[in-house]
Amino acid sequence: MTLSESAAAPVDEVVLEAVGLTKHFPVRRRLRDLFSRTPAVVHAVDDVSFALRRGRVTALVGESGSGKSTVARLLAQIHPRTAGDIRLHGTSTRVRGGRRFRSYVRRVQLILQDPFASLNPVHTVRYHLTRSLRIHGNAGRGAEDLEAALGKLLTRVSLTPPERYLDAFPHELSGGQRQRVAIARALGADPEVLLADEPVSMLDVSIRLGVLNLLQDLTQRLDIAILYITHDIASARYFADETIVMYAGRMVEGGDSETVTQRPAHPYTRLLTDSAPDPERITGDGAGAAAGADRGQGEPPSLIAPPSGCRFHPRCPHAMRRCTTDLPPRLDIGDRPGHWAACWLYDPDTVAADAPGSAAPDADPTVPPPAPAVARDDTATPREAR
């Protein structure tokens, strides 16, 4: 059993990378579609790229249906990808079961939202953890090694003394304790990456913080890279080093968590932050005039026929003609290193050619556009971030 508190590997080293990751799910055809040349697909994830680093938490934030769980399942190699690449320590990986899949899973573990569903109710904590340790070759040589490894796992997730929990069944534990067992089971593989898909959303608000603190502690002590998937952008600020925002299958904004959550640049991120009030937030648009009305409303689009151009344009109060036709690239915002948004508002030429809001669904000339980030730092010029 290793669970090593690694000292040798450099912090910030990229462990796992998504490169142009794309997933289209086929849609069952209806009779009238049979003669169509292009089969219908759900554009669940399109061109998603980011890196998970040792000892760091990256949050993937977005509304329900934005593609977050699909990204996690692609990275866990549960779904085959349609296009793009997954690189583990720089090496392209595609595994479909068998020994190579087991070896991948040993390094990249997925934690699901519902710990009750992921733990078999007829088996004890001891069974679940022993199985994980054995499958991943971390159970040691004999009964004593195994007992020590079990104790270490439970201590690692603060379920102490271990003997109190080892022979308990899942229904005898609270939701938070069950999620800790699920995390301990993932740690039984001694992984380098944890993909945590909404790990606290099914838990009582009062115990969420404890589980998030535990995950944060693991990144620091074990140098694990964590992908934290959530629809709660406020928790990303607290918990993640970096935050990436997804809308309708595409990444729309990214940067360090403090900046993305406190100075959101993309109108969609602003919509998200408005629905998760945070008294400390600096709005970045002067007096915060027309907050709410100026953020965009409506429903996410169909992913079978997603909107052309920027997928957010049908909801965006600042949409310009170009937003309806051209996909915006990642543009540097210029307020903090690494802060970008895929939004034409940050391209001075586009804004000069067409007034923000001119192609908005219910264009309201009284609603001011968001202050472009360049106004916060005159020395910076937006430029393509990739």
Ligand X SMILES: Nc1ncnc2c1ncn2[C@@H]1O[C@H](COP(=O)(O)OP(=O)(O)OP(=O)(O)O)[C@@H](O)[C@H]1O
CA dihedral 110, 116, 122, 128 (to 10 degrees): 30
Amino acid residing at 275: S
Residue 255 has φ and ψ, to the nearest 5°, of: 160, -170
Q: Which member of 18, 55, 69, 312 binds ligand X (CB under 6 A)?
A: 69
The verdict on 44 binding ligand X (CB under 6 A) reads yes
Q: Which member of 21, 50, 57, 67 binds ligand X (CB under 6 A)?
A: 67
The verdict on 65 binding ligand X (CB under 6 A) reads yes
Q: How does 59-69 read in b/e, with b if 16+ C-beta sit within 10 Å?
A: bbbbbebbbbb
For residues 251 and 253, give the distance between their C-alpha atoms in angstroms, rounded to a whole number: 6
How many other C-beta atoms lie within 10 A of the C-beta of residue 144? Answer: 9
Q: Which helix (H) or strand (E) holds 178?
A: helix 175-187
Largest CA distance in the chain: 74
Please, which of residues 292-311 interact with ligand X by CB under 6 A? Answer: 303
Residue whose CB is less far from ligand X, 25 or 127? 25
Residue whose CB is less far from ligand X, 60 or 173? 60
What minimum distance in Å lies between the beta carbon of 244 and ligand X?
A: 12
The verdict on 40 binding ligand X (CB under 6 A) reads no
Residue whose CB is less far from ligand X, 28 or 171? 28
The verdict on 66 binding ligand X (CB under 6 A) reads yes
Residues paired with 335 in a beta bridge: none
The DSSP code for 170 is G
Q: What is the x/- site pattern for ligand X, positions 203-232, by CB under 6 A?
A: ----------------------------x-
Residue whose CB is less far from ligand X, 129 or 271? 271
The verdict on 199 binding ligand X (CB under 6 A) reads no
Q: Which member of 15, 21, 42, 119 binds ligand X (CB under 6 A)?
A: 42
What minimum distance in Å lies between the beta carbon of 362 and ligand X?
A: 26
Contact 316, 267 (CB under 8 A): yes
Total of residues contacting ligand X (CB under 6 A): 13
Query: How far, in whole angstroms, is CA 367 from its chain's centroid?
Result: 32
From 48-56, 68-76, 88-96, 252-260, span contacting ligand X (CB under 6 A): 68-76
3-state secondary structure 70-88: HHHHHHCCCCCCCEEEEEE
Three-state DSSP class for 42?
A: strand
What minimum distance in Å lies between the beta carbon of 262 and ligand X?
A: 23
Residues that bind ligand X (CB under 6 A): 25, 42, 44, 62, 64-70, 231, 303
